[in-house]
Structure 1
């Protein structure tokens, strides 16, 4: 855990840790983002001022202030410049686009995520999981994070784009890993942050090669669909048919950006949730026992289906509790667009705002024994009693994750399908380290024995 000394607040600024004379708090943040932000919240309260090299930032640690940024005053903020690092990867897709263009794209894509359409994907989710499980053998050791990433990647490719990418999963996984490492290294290293991506430095070259591989795959899927002129009833079919008021459809580049965004967001959230689920279940046999009891009662050994979801209440609580302790999106950042006031402090245009699910989800004001893995805490409608932004694994406001229902349903169905057939035991003496890059990944994987 980092050690922070305190700078006295002025009338214009909230309390702040004392940082480096030139680099501000960047060195402390870079060494341990989770530890740093947690300690800031505990020692300095609901609003913390960060001195940073390019522009200051405010860490908000109260649901009301987070709601101001994401909901009531959201027009005063745009995505933080740190996301621009992923511009080559995500282009102008839903995660990175802004303003009227974002609103236009969101409206176009929303029908693909309506409840009925999401339900139609359930069978594919279970079928792909059943296809994976025969490749597992009892007594073998597997990196469960790698398995979950591969499985959810295949599912998102099939349900949203009608593509079977089984043979490409390893290459796509490596390209995604390179991209996340690129984001993390540039976002925590001031010199790399300033270095343009066109400079032929090793990390830039690795990233460019990874993007070329992804582009080749995704443009290939788009061209195949255009040539076949087939309406597969998936998102890509819908996007290919969409026309604006002038009768013009999306360019291949815009199609590519939205497909790339959903490739990343559509598999990463569920894969990480399930990876951390297996880790936590292996540490808490009493929770695993209750989960097994519910699956036996509700399913009796048969394959889960959409109709079973209302009865799989404890399974859903397990997923909610995992996302509380290990939120896939561990933090969100915004940049002030127009001068405004948050929590009584004046924010200037260009200032940064930082809000962390990791910090809020472990706040003892809202969660008893916040470090304890306890799915039963979600009984008696706790989620409805909490302030909206005490628990927000999918973000919030107008930009709440478009795939929230997809991800929740997928996590419950996959957990129920796998847990009925196998128990997973954590291999001892390995480092399980949460890696807060673009998402919260296990840095060295999670090796488990299949039982």
Structure 2
């Protein structure tokens, strides 16, 4: 293997992007296969990031020498107006935000909210699903996930009307900068498609969030909400030593980043579940049988979850093939050596669980959807970082416990009553966005159990 930057193998990438301009993630898959687990440089014209796929190298960047590889440059800079300088940033502001927010996402705290979550999801399913009528899958899942998170963590500080404004704004914000994600060498001053839509989305998000923050601060100044458990009140209390616009901005950054991350992961992953159930009828039959046997016609509760092991395996396999956080670049602060390759200070290293999860060196038939990979005992011989859908190290996703509770509740809540008929007229491939979004316009019809 190469021992210095001059000898590092370079893989052509711009030609692959041109070939796969509608599905750029396929260009990365081709480059990953050509790399074969080695560190290579991607030739993107004026930009040459290092592609990091091998679990050993992932471990080095995200764990062993994590302080040297920060969130910055590719991916992060275009999204900075959305993400801000809180929990999805780096350095001192990130550390402070994590200290404040971590207690809200521990397994113990999420478990304390689980039954409330189950009740909310069941009620939303009753209110939003119309059987025997085609509907947009992404809209349905967003209509379940967003209100659930808001009602759990934000109380009444963000109303249903505000949710209805936030959902499409978040959707635009994570898709509008798509071209800049793979063309980071284009200066921000040069207009590109999606820039205006992104700015409009940020204005909408801020127009909803800032008034809620000001209301919460006003209540806090009057001695109200002292014992409140909702996130807005907690953030206001945690930031009470930062006055004025700076304090509002810090609360806004944490609130927007946390809300976006909590909902985006769940909504994106659960949208992929339906084309997978359609494509793998044997897997679907096992999921349906388990839910019918364990849940039956009853509302899903947390008591059912330990008795739904196949559904849990299904969710983990869903996160293997379709991890929402599919691309996670880092910028090297100082020079380093990874896998025998010298990384220069200031270089971008491009990590992707989407690619690592598809490496044949660590997964048999990696493109096949097989929940049995996550059967008890199967993980014993697997490299610890062959599977990392929630990131790894200090920046591991705070919301993983929430997702692993919410996902089976949503799936079982729908499938105890309905069977999906997915309407497909093309291959389902990821579209370019900051999260691994399915193609727009996927539709299905839910047929009541017994008539499917």
TM-score (norm 1): 0.89
Secondary structure of 1:41's counterpart equals helix
Give per-residue Cα distances to partners, 1:152-207, cap 9 Å, x unaligned.
1111212221135433444323212221232212223467x31338x7x7743322
1:235 equivalenced with 2:231 (yes/no) = yes
1:152 equivalenced with 2:152 (yes/no) = no
Corresponding residue for 1:448?
444
Q: Relative to 1, partners in 2 of residues 1:385 and 1:27: Cα closer, same or farther, differing over 3 Å? A: same
Question: Which of residues 6, 12, 33 is equivalent to 1:42?
Answer: 33
1:292 equivalenced with 2:288 (yes/no) = yes
Deviation at 1:30, TM superposition (A): 5.7
Secondary structure of 2:7's counterpart equals coil
8 Å CA contact 2:22, 2:431 repeated in 1: no
Alignment of 1:432-447 (within 5 A): 432-447=428-443
Corresponding residue for 1:166?
160
8 Å CA contact 2:421, 2:446 repeated in 1: yes
Give per-residue Cα distances to partners, 1:98-131, cap 9 Å, x unaligned.
2222112211111111223212332343233223
1:86 equivalenced with 2:82 (yes/no) = no
1:217 equivalenced with 2:208 (yes/no) = yes
Distance 2:207 2:163 in 1: 14
Q: Relative to 1, partners in 2 of residues 1:243 and 1:93: Cα closer, same or farther, differing over 3 Å? A: closer
Corresponding residue for 1:378?
374
8 Å CA contact 2:121, 2:409 repeated in 1: no
Question: Which of residues 95, 104, 108 is equivalent to 2:100?
Answer: 108
Corresponding residue for 2:405?
409
Give per-residue Cα distances to partners, 1:258-277, cap 9 Å, x unaligned.
01001210101111111111
Alignment of 1:390-401 (within 5 A): 390-401=386-397
Deviation at 1:253, TM superposition (A): 0.9
Corresponding residue for 2:132?
139
Distance 2:442 2:161 in 1: 23
Deviation at 1:34, TM superposition (A): 1.9
Secondary structure of 2:50's counterpart equals strand
Any stretches of 5+ residues in structure 1 without a counterpart?
1-7
Distance 2:251 2:259 in 1: 12
Corresponding residue for 2:450?
none
Corresponding residue for 1:5?
none
Distance 1:106 1:196 in 2: 32
Alignment of 1:8-407 (within 5 A): 12-18=6-12, 32-46=23-37, 47-82=39-74, 83-96=76-89, 98-134=90-126, 135-163=128-156, 165-189=159-183, 193-196=186-189, 203-228=194-219, 229-230=224-225, 231-242=227-238, 247-248=241-242, 251-407=247-403
8 Å CA contact 2:23, 2:431 repeated in 1: no
Secondary structure of 1:450's counterpart equals strand
Secondary structure of 1:105's counterpart equals helix
Distance 1:11 1:273 in 2: 37
Distance 1:61 1:105 in 2: 29
TM-score (norm 2): 0.89
Deviation at 1:394, TM superposition (A): 0.3
Secondary structure of 1:177's counterpart equals helix
Give per-residue Cα distances to partners, 1:46-86, cap 9 Å, x unaligned.
22112334542111121001100000011111113121111
Structure 1 stretches of 4+ with a deviation exceeding 6 A read 8-11
Give per-residue Cα distances to partners, 1:7-27, cap 9 Å, x unaligned.
x9987333222466xxx9875
For this pair of structures, how many residues does the alignment match? 435
Distance 1:374 1:19 in 2: 30
